[in-house]
Amino acid sequence: MDNVQTENRRRIDIISDPEFLAGLPGLHIDELRSRREMADSVETELSYYRRLLHGRMDLLAFELRRRSGEETRSLIEALPEILGGGETASGTGGRPTPAVMPELPDSPRRPVDRILADDFLARLPSMSDHDLEEVQAMLVDAEREVSSQRKSAQVAFDGIQADILARYKDGTADQSGLLDV
């Protein structure tokens, strides 16, 4: 891909572009590894965003249940259960979830950044039910968008990984880099 063309584009836009996976067999193994690393990095970032969104969605759902009388505990009492409920040991395809938090932007430019920067959790007791439902709708929309983008990153990673593995199987890739697969 042309570096001048990709310089000002978001990484998710780059890996979602059909050009990103076009002509993989003709690319040098180092370029494949670089693209795979980008796809993996984007997927990790999006996975992290998704976990943050799910945590907020779970907290908000609990508060709505509490307000409707379905829940008698306070949010603080239920917090460990709420935040611990969605833990999994690995991500898609059995790839481990990194323990290190990805670097995220300092300023909220994207909608998901603005939603995650919102301090609605601190304002929860004073928010109306209508306000909570609006926040819930925004979180659901953001989660759908992040999940869709994450799927694109996974497709890109899997496509590149398959090409790299095929090269190792047919002997066209340098075996010294096998540990990088």
pLDDT of 135-167, one tens digit each? 999 999 999 999 999 999 999 999 999 999 998
Query: Which helix or strand (DSSP H or E) is residue 4 part of?
Result: helix 3-6
Strand partners, 90: 96
Question: How close are the terminal C-alpha atoms of the chain, in Å?
Answer: 22
Cα–Cα distance for residue pair 127/110, rounded to 1 Å: 24
Work out the average pLDDT over 76-103.
Answer: 65
What's the pLDDT tens digit per position in 101-128? Answer: 666 566 656 778 778 878 888 888 899 9
- The candidate with the shortest Cα–Cα distance to 176, out of 21, 30, 27, 23, is 30
Which pLDDT belongs to residue 120?
A: 83
Residue 142 CA to residue 24 CA, distance in Å, equals 32
- C-alpha distances in angstroms, 52 versus 44, 57, 83, 107, 117? 12, 9, 10, 17, 11
Report d(CA 25, CA 22) in Å as an integer.
9
Question: Is-contact 167 173, C-beta < 8 A?
Answer: yes
Q: pLDDT tens-digit profile of 1-44?
A: 555 455 668 899 999 999 999 999 999 999 999 999 999 999 99
Question: Does this model's pTM top 0.85?
Answer: no
Question: Taking Cα atoms as reference points, which of 47, 56, 178, 48 lies closest to residue 116?
Answer: 56
CB 24 within 8 A of CB 160: yes
Nearest-10 Cα torsion for 12, 51, 135, 109: -30
CA of residue 93 relative to chain centroid, distance: 14
Rounded to an integer, what distance in angstroms lies between the CA atom of residue 153 and that of residue 40?
A: 7
- Kindly state the helix (H) or strand (E) to which residue 42 belongs, with its residue range: helix 29-68
Total residue count of the chain as it appears in this document: 181
Higher pLDDT, 138 or 179: 138
